[in-house]
A and B are shown apart, each in its own frame.
Chain A
Amino acid sequence: MHYRELLLFLFKKLEHERSVNAVFHLLKGKKSAQTLQDAYLFQIENFYGIDRKLKKTTFNNHVKDLIENHYIQVANDQALLTEQGDQYLSGKRLQSYYQMKGHKYHQIDREFKQGLFLLIQTVSMLIHEENKFIPIVDQSYIQAKVRELLRDYSMQFDTIAEQLYGELHTVLSTIDDCLATVLLKQCSGYDRVGMSEQQIADEENVYKEDLHLQSIAAIHNILETITEHPEQYSLLTRLIWKKTNRLTASAQETFDLYQAGHTLDEIASLRQLKVSTIQDHFVEIATHKKNFNIYSFISEQVLDQIQEAIQNTSTRKLKPIKERLHEEIDYFHIRLAIATMNDDKE
């Protein structure tokens, strides 16, 4: 499974319709209405957010290579497949890509992977009577989750080890051997530290991005199987974070602080962020959260005025709206008001 094939495939899907960058945003899982809509419109939602750490320079390098190998041409910011590109693509079996389910799992796949790695490491250490070790995953909430899980099993390490081994053996047998191997090479345990994706890629002489696709596919395959048959995978399903949160992590943090009783200005100083950044977060929160009470920021009266102005200008551009309003009403208020008009909330 190669990254460049996937790029070529995605460029083909968006040919004549969208810019080169649309593919970048798709892979990164950009949280914009446009990107999400496109994903479904062009039936490439499986790839939404499958490479959330993708860097622009890395992406550009792959694109440059495709151009230099005469697989695509880029004109007006759009990628067109050459005859050679089309031929190359038609010779590939691309079904394997469909095993990914980016739209479904992009919010939980990384946490699941890390939780899995930490659980494997911990159990492996404990059955070897090694109870002092450095956890391979730093995030404290993942550590807490695994600790809680172990506690629920009353620390019966041999029992957990047996069950974990059994569930992993069963689920990995259902997926491609190569994918399973790539995943397990990354695992740490007693007297062995796992390899990084980069190291495995170097060893196999492929790009790190190629290898990342394999890892993520492995994780999505596992998630698909265990969520379909949760009764068979009672241990592994415990590693799924129930999260359908549409907020960015940073906005979520702001929201948590807000719910804990802090004001906008307090949050800005606590987090050492600009007030305008925190305002952005509140706009995001107002867009997505049903139970968010906007009236602590604007009065009902002001909200009415803004909404009226929006209807009268029949635009969602900010400037013409602001010009129709009293000058004390600032852009933050207007953006909040627009946000409340979003009816797709959770």
Chain B
Amino acid sequence: MNSTAPHDIEHALIKLFGYKQFRFGQREIIESIRNGNHTLATLPTGSGKSICYQLPALIGEGLTIVVSPLISLMIDQVKLLKAQGIKRVASLNSMMSAKQKLAVMNQLGAYKLLYCSPEMLQQEQVQQVLSNKKIDYFVIDEAHCISQWGHEFRPDFLRLKDVIKKFNNPTVLALSATATPSIRQDIIKQLELPMKQLIYPIDRPNITFSVDEVIPNRKDERLIELIEQKSIPTMIYFSSRKVSESISRLLQTKFPDRRVAYYHGGMEQDERLLIQQQFMNNQLDIICCTSAFGMGVNKSNIRLVIHYHMPATIESFIQEVGRAGRDGEQSVSILLYAPGDEFLPFQLIQTELPTEDEVNLFLRENLNGQLEDYLNETKIRFLELQTEQHQQLHQDDRRREIIQYRDERERIKQQSIFKLVDWIKSATCRRVGLFYHFQKEVTKAQYECCDSCDFRLENWRHTFESYQKKERSIQKNWKALLDELLIRG
């Protein structure tokens, strides 16, 4: 691919996305891949990572494939692009029917951007169709998922290197907002490609960090206090769907004037769509959610992100906090911690990794067809890939290898929880503690830094407008609503 004059991409930026200027790092990354370099790049969440591949894809000749770990993220991206008037995009994922998938594959020529889950790329039919196409760029979004040191390790990511070869080696762009040096090395190793690294600091100087340690059964009380004091657009993260619902109800009762809702992966699709759009449209003040919410939610004025439960890794914490303050104004992260909170993420590990007994069961018994009765999906996926990888080994050696690997994964996961607990309990600068894993220098805070340095929540005087009074839809009848909708005011 030849390098084009810089004003060309600037022109495309205005025309396609309506921005006058590139943001930090975007131009360098775009130029790197347009010059044909395989590139590994880090940019903070909310800094316009996706433009780095969307723009070159849209002005390129061929097709760009974007591998994305989360289906919801993929669907959101496609929807957002279409809403912006960029229609030549599609996705292939397991939530689509066979008919829908076929329809996409039969008219690949109509698309410039194709979002795919790594699992879909393993399907022979998909590979076959795509390997006959001219593919300009192969993008791996949230690339830390490739790494076994990353936080969302999925076996099918390991097979991407073979997929890339089958597609005649298009230029690869691996993007992440949370990749430590060891994860970056691992990504390059897993892809078996020479990669140019463009590493930008991932800390956001407008976010202030604070950890609030409370007595175990006083957490709700403390949360209510916080919400009472700070009348600003707020996200509250939970690890449990049930708790996100019950706290949402509690807050709605306590604060009838504010608009509170919950969002989690267990809700029906229609309802999730409504809540997400209400939030984007500033119809909600507080959202109680799990990690299912937020990927691709590009709301600029979230002022406060509270973690009611601690996440399992520093990476997810950074990502979730990164939803705040995308407009560059000051925003605050508060993690509520009660001694013993780490028990929950430790417990979650046990639902993700098979026990030794389960490994034995899987290898010894022929459980064809009733596997699901004994093991959950995550465990089955883990075991299937491991058996495949150690196919050549003798039964006992294979068993030993798998168990060893399982133990190692458990250790890695436990370590990352310990790392976060250490951070919570430390008395040194929170920003340094979070970001030194990722970059040499931590950017200086633009407003207050953290509770270890200079921040007291009680003293925080924000200048944001407080809520508009809640509109009580309950008082409106259908005639008024119909007029509102269909008569131009």
Tell which of A32-40, A180-188, A290-298 binds the partner.
Answer: A180-188
Which residues B72-114 have CB closer than 8 A to chain A? 75, 79-80, 82-85, 94, 97-100, 102
A165 touches which one: B84, B94, B486 (CB < 8 A)? B486
A271 touches which one: B82, B98, B273, B477 (CB < 8 A)? B98
Give the distance in Å from the alpha carbon of A140 to the alpha carbon of B90 in the complex. Answer: 12
Residue A345 at the chain B interface, CB threshold 8 Å: no
Give the distance in Å from the alpha carbon of A132 to the alpha carbon of B79 in the complex. Answer: 11
Do B249 and A138 touch across chains, with their CB atoms under 8 A apart?
no
Give the distance in Å from the alpha carbon of A297 to the alpha carbon of B118 in the complex. Answer: 36
Residue A191 at the chain B interface, CB threshold 8 Å: yes
Interface string of B456-483 (1 = CB under 8 A from A): 0000000000000000011011110110
Neighbouring A residues of B100 by C-beta, 8 Å: 140
Give the distance in Å from the alpha carbon of A143 to the alpha carbon of B83 in the complex. Answer: 13
Residue B274 at the chain A interface, CB threshold 8 Å: yes
Do B481 and A253 touch across chains, with their CB atoms under 8 A apart?
no
Do B275 and A196 touch across chains, with their CB atoms under 8 A apart?
yes
Residue B443 at the chain A interface, CB threshold 8 Å: no
B478 touches which one: A138, A184, A256 (CB < 8 A)? A184
Interface size on A, residues (CB 8 A): 51
Give the distance in Å from the alpha carbon of A123 to the alpha carbon of B75 in the complex. Answer: 24
Residue A221 at the chain B interface, CB threshold 8 Å: no
Which residues B225-271 have CB closer than 8 A to chain A? 249, 252, 261, 268-271
Neighbouring A residues of B80 by C-beta, 8 Å: 134
Residue A169 at the chain B interface, CB threshold 8 Å: yes
Neighbouring B residues of A134 by C-beta, 8 Å: 79-80, 82-83, 277
A270 touches which one: B125, B252, B270, B369 (CB < 8 A)? B125
Residue B215 at the chain A interface, CB threshold 8 Å: no
Q: How far is the CB of A192 from chain B (nearest CB, A)?
A: 7
Which secondary structure dominates where chain A touches chain B? helix
Neighbouring A residues of B132 by C-beta, 8 Å: none
Do B486 and A136 touch across chains, with their CB atoms under 8 A apart?
no
Do B83 and A177 touch across chains, with their CB atoms under 8 A apart?
no
Give the distance in Å from the alpha carbon of A192 to the alpha carbon of B100 in the complex. Answer: 30
Neighbouring A residues of B99 by C-beta, 8 Å: 253, 256-257
Residue A336 at the chain B interface, CB threshold 8 Å: no
Neighbouring A residues of B486 by C-beta, 8 Å: 120, 123-124, 127, 161, 164-165, 168, 189
Neighbouring B residues of A135 by C-beta, 8 Å: 79
Residue A190 at the chain B interface, CB threshold 8 Å: yes
Residue A241 at the chain B interface, CB threshold 8 Å: no
Residue B281 at the chain A interface, CB threshold 8 Å: yes
Do B478 and A181 touch across chains, with their CB atoms under 8 A apart?
yes
Give the distance in Å from the alpha carbon of A49 to the alpha carbon of B478 in the complex. Answer: 27
Do B488 and A128 touch across chains, with their CB atoms under 8 A apart?
yes
Interface string of B109-151 (1 = CB under 8 A from A): 0000000000000000100000000000000000000000000
Give the distance in Å from the alpha carbon of A323 to the alpha carbon of B311 in the complex. Answer: 58
Do B252 and A202 touch across chains, with their CB atoms under 8 A apart?
yes
Do B477 and A191 touch across chains, with their CB atoms under 8 A apart?
no
Q: What is the chain B residue whose CB lies nearest that of A161? A: B486
B281 touches which one: A128, A193, A197 (CB < 8 A)? A193
Give the distance in Å from the alpha carbon of A220 to the alpha carbon of B109 in the complex. Answer: 43
Residue B484 at the chain A interface, CB threshold 8 Å: yes
Residue B283 at the chain A interface, CB threshold 8 Å: yes
Do A124 and B485 touch across chains, with their CB atoms under 8 A apart?
yes
Residue among B75, B252, B477, B486 with max Cβ neighbours from chain A (10 Å): B486
Given the interface pairs A128-B488, A256-B99, the reply to whether A187 lies near B481 with Cβ below 8 Å is yes
Neighbouring B residues of A185 by C-beta, 8 Å: 473, 476, 481
Residue A53 at the chain B interface, CB threshold 8 Å: yes
Residue among B79, B94, B488 with max Cβ neighbours from chain A (10 Å): B488
Q: How far is the CB of B66 from chain A (nearest CB, A)?
A: 19
Neighbouring A residues of B252 by C-beta, 8 Å: 202
Do B274 and A194 touch across chains, with their CB atoms under 8 A apart?
yes
Give the distance in Å from the alpha carbon of A272 to the alpha carbon of B261 in the complex. Answer: 36
Interface string of A254-265 (1 = CB under 8 A from B): 001100000000
B271 touches which one: A189, A198, A253 (CB < 8 A)? A198
Q: How far is the CB of B152 from chain A (nearest CB, A)?
A: 22
Given the interface pairs A124-B485, A124-B486, A134-B277, the reply to whether A195 lies near B473 with Cβ below 8 Å is yes
Do A53 and B249 touch across chains, with their CB atoms under 8 A apart?
no
Residue A346 at the chain B interface, CB threshold 8 Å: no
Do B98 and A270 touch across chains, with their CB atoms under 8 A apart?
yes
Residue A153 at the chain B interface, CB threshold 8 Å: no
Give the distance in Å from the alpha carbon of A53 to the alpha carbon of B85 in the complex. Answer: 34
Residue A203 at the chain B interface, CB threshold 8 Å: yes
Residue A98 at the chain B interface, CB threshold 8 Å: no
Q: What is the chain B residue whose CB lies nearest that of A267? A: B98
Do A184 and B273 touch across chains, with their CB atoms under 8 A apart?
no
Give the distance in Å from the alpha carbon of A189 to the alpha carbon of B274 in the complex. Answer: 12
Give the distance in Å from the alpha carbon of A133 to the alpha carbon of B83 in the complex. Answer: 5
Give the distance in Å from the alpha carbon of A193 to the alpha carbon of B271 in the complex. Answer: 11
Do A180 and B270 touch across chains, with their CB atoms under 8 A apart?
no
Neighbouring B residues of A68 by C-beta, 8 Å: none
Given the interface pairs A136-B274, A193-B277, A196-B275, the reply to whether A180 lies near B98 with Cβ below 8 Å is no
A196 touches which one: B79, B249, B271 (CB < 8 A)? B271
Residue A77 at the chain B interface, CB threshold 8 Å: no
Q: What is the chain A residue whose CB lies nearest that of B119? A: A272
Do A193 and B278 touch across chains, with their CB atoms under 8 A apart?
yes
Give the distance in Å from the alpha carbon of A218 to the alpha carbon of B261 in the complex. Answer: 25
Interface string of A196-207 (1 = CB under 8 A from B): 111100111000
Give the distance in Å from the alpha carbon of A190 to the alpha carbon of B483 in the complex. Answer: 12
Neighbouring A residues of B478 by C-beta, 8 Å: 172, 177, 180-181, 183-184
Q: What is the chain B residue whose CB lies nearest that of A140? A: B100
Give the distance in Å from the alpha carbon of A168 to the alpha carbon of B488 in the complex. Answer: 16
Residue B5 at the chain A interface, CB threshold 8 Å: no
Do A120 and B83 touch across chains, with their CB atoms under 8 A apart?
no
Do B271 and A120 touch across chains, with their CB atoms under 8 A apart?
no
Residue among B75, B100, B485 with max Cβ neighbours from chain A (10 Å): B485
Q: How far is the CB of B159 from chain A (nearest CB, A)?
A: 17
A199 touches which one: B79, B261, B277 (CB < 8 A)? B261
Given the interface pairs A127-B488, A165-B486, the reply to whether A181 lies near B277 with Cβ below 8 Å is no
Q: Which residues of B contact A (CB under 8 A)?
A: 75, 79-80, 82-85, 94, 97-100, 102, 125, 249, 252, 261, 268-271, 273-275, 277-278, 281, 283, 369, 473-474, 476-479, 481-482, 484-488
Would you list 30 pairs from A and B whose C-beta atoms are within 8 A, ordered by A residue?
A: A120-B486, A123-B486, A132-B85, A134-B277, A135-B79, A136-B273, A138-B75, A138-B270, A165-B486, A172-B478, A180-B477, A181-B477, A181-B478, A184-B478, A184-B481, A184-B485, A185-B473, A185-B476, A187-B481, A189-B484, A190-B485, A191-B281, A192-B485, A193-B278, A193-B281, A195-B274, A196-B274, A196-B275, A199-B261, A267-B98
Known: A138-B75, A199-B261. 9 other contacts (CB 8 A): A132-B84, A137-B270, A169-B482, A172-B482, A184-B485, A188-B277, A194-B274, A195-B274, A197-B271
Question: Which 5 residue pairs spanning A and B have beta carbons closest together?
Answer: A180-B478, A189-B485, A184-B481, A193-B277, A165-B486
